[in-house]
Amino acid sequence: MNNLLELKNITKSYFLEKEEFPVLKGIDLKFNYGEFVSLVGESGGGKSTLMNIIAGLDSNYGGDVYLEGKSLRNDTEKKMDEYRRKTIGFIFQNFNLIGHMTVLENVKVALEMSDMSKKEQIDRCEMLLKKVGLSDHMHKHPNQLSGGQKQRVAIARALASDPDIIIADEPTGALDAENTDDVLKILDDIAKEGKLILTVTHSDKVASYGTRLVRMAGGKITEDKNLREKYNQKNNNNMKLHPLSFVNTFKMSYRQLTYNLKRNLLIIFGSAIGIFSVMFMLGLGNGIKGYMNQQISDQINPNVVQIIKGKNGTDMSEINKSNLSDNDINKIKDVKDVKKVEKGSMVMQPSIKYKNKSQQGQMMQTINATFLSKNVKYGSTPVNKNEVMLPSSIAKKMAKNQKDLVGKKVDLSFVTIKNNNGSIPMNRSVKISGISDGVSPAMYISYETLKSMYQEKNVTLKDNFVTATIKGNVDKVQPAQDAIKNIKNSNGKKEFSITGAGSLVSTLNNYINLAVYVLATIAGISLLVSAIMIIVVLYISVAERTKEIGILRAIGLTKGNIRGLFFSESILLGIFSSIAATGVAYILQFLINFAINGSIHYDIIQINPINIIYVVVIALLINLFAAMLPSGKAAKLDPIESLSAE
Ligand SMILES: Nc1ncnc2c1ncn2[C@@H]1O[C@H](COP(=O)(O)OP(=O)(O)OP(=O)(O)O)[C@@H](O)[C@H]1O
Ligand SMILES: [Mg+2]
């Protein structure tokens, strides 16, 4: 029959600047179920070193450790994690409990890597804590316990996964006589159940308590004797254990976050400011864009675009020069979704004379579909021959009561240039059909009236612009506009551009988008700041929890699990910050919109779900990125060194 554990010629040296310090010089030992072994020897003799090798924390040694006849020598890191998880239970001199977990949770960590249900886990922990006499202290934190109590928690934890071997490196070193007796009694009971107990001790009392005494000196075994009969029981461990699951990793991080609540709330607050600012900027952008578009489509029909021939529809001289032929009109008619194309013309600086008073306007244009009838303040649009519609700005200057002007006859006059052949004055007596009240300062006249005025003087009317009506939804307007702008002549040059208020819509939207992205990027800098904050905090967390990391590795968490703990901590911080930021953003949106609704009747902040998702995804990615270095550092920590961290 194989021994439970066999050590064959174990050697180990430490190197200090290439100088070799041999600690273990060939150790041969066999251990079995039901033994309670005390290892004694001078301080610095290598007892702990040997225990670390047996425990699977140190694989840098000579010789072989056999478990049930099988060497651990070639086991992978994963196998060694599993070995610690399943076969080894640890009890340390200074207890090594995890401060942010309760007594029950400290015992339960090992079981969180099992297939047990939560209820079964808690039942088992309660059973074990009862066994060590701590039923009444299960929900305390370690700092609320006495030394003896702490060590009993540690024993319960070591027993949780029902390991075959319990390694106790000076378990009573920090305890008084009474507590020492209690602990020894418990350890003996454990051996009675068929486990192998390996204790290291400096105390003669402890050494004489077990079933067997092993003495070490000068890196060798100098004495090995049985003190009494070993127990004739064999531990039967059939618990299924695996690395910590994804969900349990998050749960463990969550516990840690709530334990350090104040600090973490501050971090969440800090990150939330960054996330909130970006959300808010995007929302403000949506609002301003919406508001501007609404303002503009209030003035003009959004489905009608005004087109000139020339490259810049906002340049007055280009508009003046522009003259569209029937061929041009046909080209525009061919564009997808264009329903109707109408000719239009413009005249600069028209004058109106009424009761010997003259007023000059900026411009007069032929009435077309861009004009919305709701912008008629009094009267109607000029549909009949010899009618004009005046803008309110001019009408105001002509009569106290603008309304009185409707139906009145006035003299309309302007000057036109005939093919660079000198100027030609034009005039006609017309009737005021109505007064308009919009942003447009233009006077309006029907195409026919204007044309007949030109014919009278034998001048051909220049079709400065055309209006194209786009059918269907407003969404079709932008693509149609782009298609018109992209029409090229035989030289490959673009021929047309959009003019009037419609051209403003897309230019304005472009500017607003640009401004929003600039603002959001500036706000985004605070996201970077919060990323740096998280990196710093995680590094501090790694430093603070070095010992905990050692304990968790000893219990059997893998490197990946440790990395996962810090990643999930960062992600949880990101999630909570995002929730806080979203909440604040919506509340502020509500308040601001409510406050200014009286003046502009429009929701100026419009944060939409897409904005939220977009910002949250970016924030989480940043947090993931931030966790990379600290979590990598945590995973790389050597468990033995971590355990001896102060
Ligand atoms: N990481 C290390 N690097 C270099 N030397 C080490 C390291 N760890 C231990 N040693 C040395 O190895 C020797 C054995 O140390 P070990 O901790 O195994 O002794 P010990 O028998 O457990 O002593 P004690 O009874 O005081 O706990 C000591 O001389 C110690 O200085
Ligand atoms: Mg030691």
Looking at 446, 479, 501, the residue that finishes a domain is 501
Q: How many angstroms separate the CA atoms of 637 and 547, rounded?
A: 10
Residue 503's pLDDT band, with cuts at 50, 70 and 90, is low
Q: Is the dihedral of CA 446, 452, 454, 459 positive or negative?
A: positive
Instruction: Please give the span between the terminal C-alpha atoms of the chain, in angstroms, as a whole number.
Output: 43
Per the CB < 8 A criterion, the answer to whether 487 and 331 are in contact is yes
Question: d(Cα 388, Cα 407) in Å, to the nearest integer?
Answer: 10
Q: Write the pLDDT tens digit of every residue in 593-633.
A: 999 888 888 899 999 999 999 999 999 999 999 999 999 99
Asked if residue 485 is part of any domain, the answer here is: yes
**3-class DSSP state for residue 219?**
coil
Q: Beta 363-366 vs 443-445: how paired, if at all?
A: parallel
Per-residue pLDDT band for 501 (boundaries 50, 70, 90) equals low
Residue 305 · residue 468 · CB < 8 Å = yes
Domain identity same for 326 and 464: yes
Q: Whose CA is nearest to atom 4 of ligand 1?
A: 14
Q: Evaluate: CB of 23 within 6 angstroms of ligand 1.
A: yes
Report the SS3 class of residue 216.
Answer: strand
Question: Two tokens at 340?
Answer: 């109707």
**Å from CA of 530 to ligand 2 middle:** 43
Rounded to an integer, what distance in angstroms lies between the CA atom of residue 482 and that of residue 479? 5
Contact 26, 10 (CB under 8 A): yes
Q: Whose CA is nearest to atom 10 of ligand 1?
A: 14
479 and 373 within one domain:
yes
Residue whose CB lies within 8 A of the most ligand 1 atoms, among 23, 24, 61, for a mutation test: 23
Q: Are 446 and 387 in contact (CB under 8 A)?
A: yes
DSSP 407-470: T-EEEEEEEEE-TTS-EEEEEEEEEEEEEE-SS---EEE-HHHHHHHHHHTT-PPP--EEEEEE
Q: What is the per-residue pLDDT for 420?
A: 65
**Ligand 1, atom 16: closest residue by C-alpha:** 46
Q: How confident is the model at residue 303 (pLDDT cuts 50, 70, 90)?
A: confident
- The pLDDT value given to residue 502: 65
Distance between CA atoms of 315 and 325, rounded to whole angstroms? Answer: 20
Same domain, 342 and 478: yes
Cα–Cα distance, 277 to 488 (Å, whole number): 44
**Nearest protein Cα to ligand 1, atom 17:** 48
Q: Is 174 found in the same domain as 130? A: yes
Q: Is there a single domain that holds both residue 59 and residue 127?
A: yes
In terms of domains, do 212 and 147 share one?
A: yes
Task: Give the position of tokens 């649009």.
Answer: 381
Q: Which residues contact 621 (CB under 8 A, 6 or more apart)?
A: none
**pLDDT of 473 above 80:** no
10 Å Cβ neighbour count for 391?
23
The sign of the torsion formed by the CA atoms of 297, 303, 304, 307 equals positive
Count of Cβ atoms closer than 10 Å to residue 548 Cβ? 24
The CB of 391 under 6 Å from ligand 1? The reply is: no
For residues 409-429, average pLDDT = 85
- The angle subtended at Cα 383 by Cα 380 and Cα 387, nearest 5°, is 80
Question: DSSP class of residue 369?
Answer: T
**CB distance 43 to ligand 1 below 6 Å:** yes
CB of residue 45 inside a 6 A radius of ligand 1 = yes
| Number of domains the chain contains | 3
Which ligand does the CA of 168 lie closest to?
2
The tens digit of pLDDT for each residue in 558-599 reads: 999 999 999 999 999 999 999 999 999 999 999 999 998 888
For residues 516-536, average pLDDT: 87
Q: Assess whether the C-beta atom of 44 lies below 6 angstroms from ligand 1.
A: yes
Q: How confident is the model at residue 120 (pLDDT cuts 50, 70, 90)?
A: very high
| In the predicted structure, residue 417 carries a pLDDT above the cut 80 | no
CA distance to 129, 148, 180, per residue, from 177 (Å): 21, 10, 5
Q: Using most ligand atoms within 8 A of CB, pick from 27, 43, 48 the residue to mutate for ligand 1.
A: 48
Q: How far apart are CA 525 and CA 518, in angstroms?
A: 11
Query: What is the rounded distance in angstroms from the CA atom of residue 621 to the CA atom of residue 571?
Result: 9
Is residue 508 within 8 Å of 516, Cβ to Cβ?
Answer: no
The answer to whether residue 224 sits within a structural domain is yes
Instruction: Determine, yes or no, domain membership for 250.
Output: no
Say yes or no: 397 and 545 in one domain.
no
- Rounded CA-CA distance 512/450 in Å is 38
Q: Do 135 and 269 sit in the same domain of this protein?
A: no
Is residue 154 included in any domain, yes or no?
yes
d(CA 56, ligand 1 centre) in Å: 17
The pLDDT value recorded for residue 419 is: 65
pLDDT at 406 exceeding the cut of 70: yes
The yes-or-no verdict on residue 544 having pLDDT over 70 is: yes
> Do strands 465-470 and 304-309 pair parallel, antiparallel, or not at all (unpaired)?
antiparallel
Per the listing, tokens 């949250």 go with 616
Which residue range is the domain that position 317 belongs to?
A: 302-501
Identify the pLDDT of residue 510: 79
Q: What atom of ligand 1 comes closest to residue 202's alpha carbon?
A: 25
Nearest CA to ligand 1 atom 14: 46
pLDDT for residue 59 is more than 80: yes
Centre a 10 Å sphere on the Cβ of residue 492 and count the other Cβ atoms it contains: 6
Question: Is residue 313 predicted with pLDDT exceeding 80?
Answer: no
What is the 93 CA–ligand 2 centroid distance (Å)? 9
The answer to whether residue 418 scores a pLDDT higher than 80 is no
Same domain, 378 and 287: no
As a whole number, the mean pLDDT across the chain is 90
* Angular region, 466: left φ>0, alpha ψ -120 to 50, beta rest: beta
| Rounded CA separation 581/272 (Å) | 5
Please identify, among 452, 483, 501, the residue that sits at the C-terminal boundary of a domain: 501
Dist CA 399 CA 279 (whole Å) = 51
Q: How is residue 416 written in tokens?
A: 């036109």
- Reading the block at residue 310, the tokens are 């020339």
54 has pLDDT over 90:
yes
pLDDT at 506 over 80: no
Q: Which residues pair with 62 in a beta bridge?
A: 11
Q: 410 pairs with which residues across the strands?
A: 430
- Same domain assignment for residues 166 and 18: yes
The helix or strand, by DSSP H or E, that contains position 91, with its residue range, turns out to be strand 88-92
The pair of three-digit structure tokens given for residue 280, joined into one six-digit string: 């808010």
Domain assignment present for residue 517? The answer is yes
Contacts of 244 (CB under 8 A, 6+ apart): 112, 113, 252, 557, 558, 561, 564
Lowest mean pLDDT among 258-272, 273-287, 292-306: 292-306
How far from the centroid of its chain's Cα atoms is residue 433's Cα? 60
Cα–Cα distance between 345 and 306 in angstroms, integer?
A: 11
In a domain, 249, yes or no: no
CB 368 within 8 A of CB 500: no
Point out the domain boundary residue: 445, 477, 501.
Answer: 501
Average pLDDT over residues 480-498: 87
271 with 346, same domain: the answer is no
Domain CATH code at residue 177: 3.40.50.300
- The H-or-E segment that residue 64 falls in is strand 62-67
Q: Is 607 among the domain residues?
A: yes
39 CA distance to ligand 2 middle (Å): 11
Whether 28 is covered by a domain: the verdict is yes
Query: pLDDT, tens digit, for every residue of 174-190?
Result: 889 999 999 999 999 99
pLDDT at 402: 86
Most confident of 136-145, 307-316, 470-479: 136-145
Rounded to an integer, what distance in angstroms lies between the CA atom of residue 524 and that of residue 517? 10
Closest to 370 measured CA to CA, from 442, 452, 450: 442
DSSP state of 144: G
50 Cα to the center of ligand 1, angstroms: 10
Are 329 and 467 in a shared domain?
yes
607 in Cβ contact with 585 (< 8 Å): yes
Closest C-alpha to 469, from 333, 336, 305, 344 = 305
